[in-house]
Each structure stands twice: as structure tokens, then as C-alpha cells.
């Protein structure tokens, strides 16, 4: 499901500078650091949402976080 942008995010997204060739072909988009960081944060959140959705869809039984960490840190594996 797509994340709905609030008014500040929508404004930030529309402030990105677009560069094009003389014929109108897309060349690049220029973002300031704040816009870039917000984009990375949104991407990270989207990746988390997709991972959650995939885990729910898999039908596997979830394990408690502490147990998962214990298994990852176990030298036996």
C-alpha cells in the first residue's frame, strides 16, 4: 500500500529541481540534503513495510525478538 504524503512532504517533493535536455528528455533531479535524507527515511520505512507484509504472507510462526537474537548470536550456527 502506498504511503500517503502529508502536506509538508508533498511540498518538499515538488521543490526538487528537475533538469532536462533541450528536447525535454529527463536528465537528473537535484535534491538538497534534507530532501535526500527524507527520501532515504521513506525508503527505509517502505522496506520495513514490505518485509512485514512478506513475513505475514509466509504463514510462518513468528518467534520472539530475544529468541531470534539468541539464535543469531549462537556460535553453533
Task: Enumerate the domain spans of the chain.
Answer: 16-73
Mean pLDDT over 39-57 rounds to 95
Mean pLDDT of the chain: 83
pLDDT at site 15 = 75
pLDDT above 70 (res 22)? yes
pLDDT at 10 over 80: no
Q: What is the pLDDT of residue 4?
A: 59
- Give how far Cα 11 sits from Cα of 1, 7, 15, 52, Å: 21, 6, 6, 29
In the prediction, which pLDDT does 16 show? 81
Amino acid at each position: 500500500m502506498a504511503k500517503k504524503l502529508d502536506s509538508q512532504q508533498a511540498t518538499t517533493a515538488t521543490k526538487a529541481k528537475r533538469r532536462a535536455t533541450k528536447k525535454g528528455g529527463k536528465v537528473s533531479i537535484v535534491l538538497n540534503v534534507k530532501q535526500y535524507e527524507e527520501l532515504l527515511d521513506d525508503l527505509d520505512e517502505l522496506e520495513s513495510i514490505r518485509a512485514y507484509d512478506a513475513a505475514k504472507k509466509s504463514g510462518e510462526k513468528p518467534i520472539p525478538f530475544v529468541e531470534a537474537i539468541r539464535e543469531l548470536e549462537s556460535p553453533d550456527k
